[in-house]
Structure 1
């Protein structure tokens, strides 16, 4: 297999690593492109490469670590809650490993880890690399990588989404959610939300302190958002697969305007992630 075909064979894996590391399609694609350029230069220089997969994964992982370090301050000063860019899995593209995409909620949780912790955790927990190989990729010893994974598991354990639901199970729930929100029906909406629901939004005209905790406050916010949108525009919604899980997209005058991602526990909504930043929706607009 020539070098270009070898790279293409691993491209879906490389994109998945980069996207889960960065939470941004554009940044992930840039890292994949830079990985290709370095791979190509290595072959032109006749560099000895024993394992193409390990070589490529090491390049893209370290590119992502550098990218996260450079954007960390920007994300910490983000106006509102930083949420990752959603990826449509309704019609998977050739460069995406669907089974390895993490939910919006879990990608948000990974922001609590340092860039190296995030890399080690993902390579072990999502991509099933052994510790010796992870150590070679990130430049640490295997024992240190084990400790990083252990601490990351401990930190994320209490917050990790506990259940997933199928599109068939979630469609009626999300339809009732949208209808209750649009109707301003507080009681109906409260029945769909857990008492300790958490709501995260990355912007919009309605400047409420984020995150919002508790069913009453979350319902009030959602109803107010819907009221303002209804006054200004014609809108519709569609159930789609977002990051491999059922979600809802909102269209205003047939333009993608917002994305809802959810975590569901025992038939109620435990977390709502509302993504409205236009820059995060451009890629999605072209794929759904």
Structure 2
């Protein structure tokens, strides 16, 4: 085969799989940038081994999965030493477009639940339960026996049984809640904020030690309001927003906001009672390199 034609065939086969590989890698790693790096590494391996591979899709899924597992294991100590709560790197889509991802499969709640799994458990669960690979294929990918893979899948499901929320709230209602919260916060209306929050609402802010953020998860309406009230009293918080763009962030209605010190993302998880169940704020600049502020 002519070398140019061979290279084009390899590139075409890879590009056909790239969206699936990117989705898998993001769920494995919780990072847009790291997922892109893992997929790029898979491409480099593909250029050396791809010619003559009978099933390019299966080969590339195996390569990407193994690369992600290696990255997770290497990052274990770094993740354990992370300063303050950890949130996944935000996945941002315009609200005006149809979502590229199923909301429940990229929700922060789901990705945080995946963090509680071992790398192998995470790979098995995602490959089988999310990407519909059969157990035999998963076993080949992970170089494990099929019974061992089934056991890993069962264990993973026990950990994340309730973590994939079914979004019963309409996108319009979720957007209304998010906009009302931002308006009340910007105006220092703590009473208005309180009415928007579920009684057991949580607020998670991720500064990674690089920017100011709460060093623990705020739990309960009163706890969340106290934090926001303290920020407002000190002249910080959402009163300093220079610009705010409505976006879909990990399937939730949210905002990309621009502050004096740079961008941050705020995502709002709606609750069953028509109030906000959780607020996720990513402030760590290392997780926002792909965000236009």
Please classify the TM superposition score into its range, dividing by the shorter chain length: 0.7 to 0.9
**Structure 1 residue 121 displacement after superposition:** 0.8
Secondary structure of the 2:93 match is coil
In 1, distance between residues paired with 2:183 and 2:96?
A: 29
TM-score normalised by the chain length of structure 2: 0.86
**Structure 1 residue 244 displacement after superposition:** 3.4
Q: Match of 1:75? A: 79
Q: Match of 1:26? A: 33
Deviations 1:44-75 (A, max 9, x none): xx5x4221111000000000000000011111
The counterpart of 1:261, out of the listed 267, 279, 286, is: 267
Secondary structure of the 2:263 match is strand
Unaligned runs of 5+ in 2: 1-7
Aligned pairs, number: 280
182-191 vs 156-165, greater mean Cα deviation: 156-165
Secondary structure of the 1:251 match is strand
**Structure 1 residue 31 displacement after superposition:** 0.9
Secondary structure of the 2:264 match is strand
RCO (CA 8 Å, sep 6+): is it higher in 1 or 2? 1
TM-score normalised by the chain length of structure 1: 0.88
Deviations 1:159-198 (A, max 9, x none): 4434353431212111111122222222221221111112
**Structure 1 residue 205 displacement after superposition:** 5.3
1:186 matches 2:193: no
**Structure 1 residue 139 displacement after superposition:** 1.3
The counterpart of 1:98, out of the listed 98, 101, 119, is: 101
Deviations 1:204-239 (A, max 9, x none): 755533111111001111233355336984523222
Q: Match of 2:4? A: none
CA 1:270–1:206 in 2, change beyond 3 Å: closer, same or farther? same
Q: Match of 1:225? A: 231
1:36 matches 2:38: no
Deviations 1:73-128 (A, max 9, x none): 111110111111112222999xx953486122321221111111111111122211
In 2, distance between residues paired with 1:211 and 1:234?
A: 23
110-119 vs 154-163, greater mean Cα deviation: 154-163
Unaligned runs of 5+ in 1: none
Q: Match of 2:5? A: none
In 1, distance between residues paired with 2:115 and 2:81?
A: 13
Where does structure 1 differ by over 6 angstroms across 4 or more consecutive aligned residues? none
266-275 vs 236-245, greater mean Cα deviation: 236-245
How big is the alpha-carbon RMSD for the aligned residues of Structure 1 and Structure 2? Answer: 2.6
The counterpart of 2:124, out of the listed 120, 126, 136, is: 120
